[in-house]
Structures are given as C-alpha cells and as structure tokens.
Amino acid sequence: MLGAVRLRGLLNWLTHRSEFERFQPTSPHWHLVRIGTAGDKRGQGVGTALLKGRLAVVDGKGDVAHLESSSPMSERLYRRFGFEAVGSFKLPYGALIVPMTRPSQLRPAVVTRHP
C-alpha cells in the first residue's frame, strides 16, 4: 500500500505540477514534502514533533518554508506553526490542496550598547 500511495503522490505532482508550482514562493525557500503520520498515530503529537524538528533547521537558517496541506486537520496543524494559505486547488479525484507558506522566523540580533 505504501508504494501505491507514493506512486499516486508522484503521479499527482507530475500531472498537476503547474498548479503546485504556481503557489510556491519566488524567493529561495524550503519545500517541506510528505509530512504525515499513519492513521492510528494521528492526534498523538507525532506530526507536531516531525514539523518542529524540520522547522528548527529552517528557522536556524532564517529561511522561508512552504508546503501543501491535503486535509483540514493538517491545515490546522500548519497554521499553529505560522503557515498561511496562499491559495487552493482541487485534484481530479476531489482532494482540496491548500498551498501554505511560512515567513522567515529569524529574529534580528539585539545589539546592546554599553557606555
């Protein structure tokens, strides 16, 4: 089954690549792909842990992150991490895809002046 899911995802991307690419940031960014958990593990913090780990790397570099949500549950998760919807489109079999981008989280260094 896993092979079929991967193959379907690849075929969807190849077939609808222009839709996926249309919403990507034009500036350099990280494209986070295929973040997901098995059905029996959902709601246990696994997706949150996966996302935190990857975003720690992205944030450490001060970069922008982009991904696509394919369910309302994942969209809510991504919004909690600061992702914002930049559009939406439907795949032929009905799945609603919501591309989401998260601005750089790099905070400017605080400069302290001493007398």
Which pLDDT value is given to residue 24? 85
Strands (E), 36-95: 64-69, 84-85, 89-90
Residue whose entry in the numeric block shows the structure tokens 């839709």: 19
Q: How many of the other CB atoms lie within 10 Å of CB of 71?
A: 14
Which pLDDT value is given to residue 30? 86
What pLDDT digit, counting tens, does each position of 85-108 carry? Answer: 999 988 877 889 999 999 988 755
Residue 111 CA to residue 95 CA, distance in Å, equals 48
Which pLDDT value is given to residue 5? 46
Over residues 30-52, the mean pLDDT reads 78
Helices and strands in the chain, H and E counts: 4, 5
Residue 51 CA to residue 78 CA, distance in Å, equals 9
What pLDDT digit, counting tens, does each position of 4-29 carry? Answer: 446 666 676 666 666 777 788 888 89
What pLDDT digit, counting tens, does each position of 45-88 carry? Answer: 777 888 888 888 898 888 999 999 988 888 999 999 999 999 99
- pTM given for the model: 0.74
Question: In which band, very low, low, confident or very high, does the pLDDT at 2 lie, cut at 50, 70 and 90?
Answer: very low
* Both structure tokens of 46: 């696994």
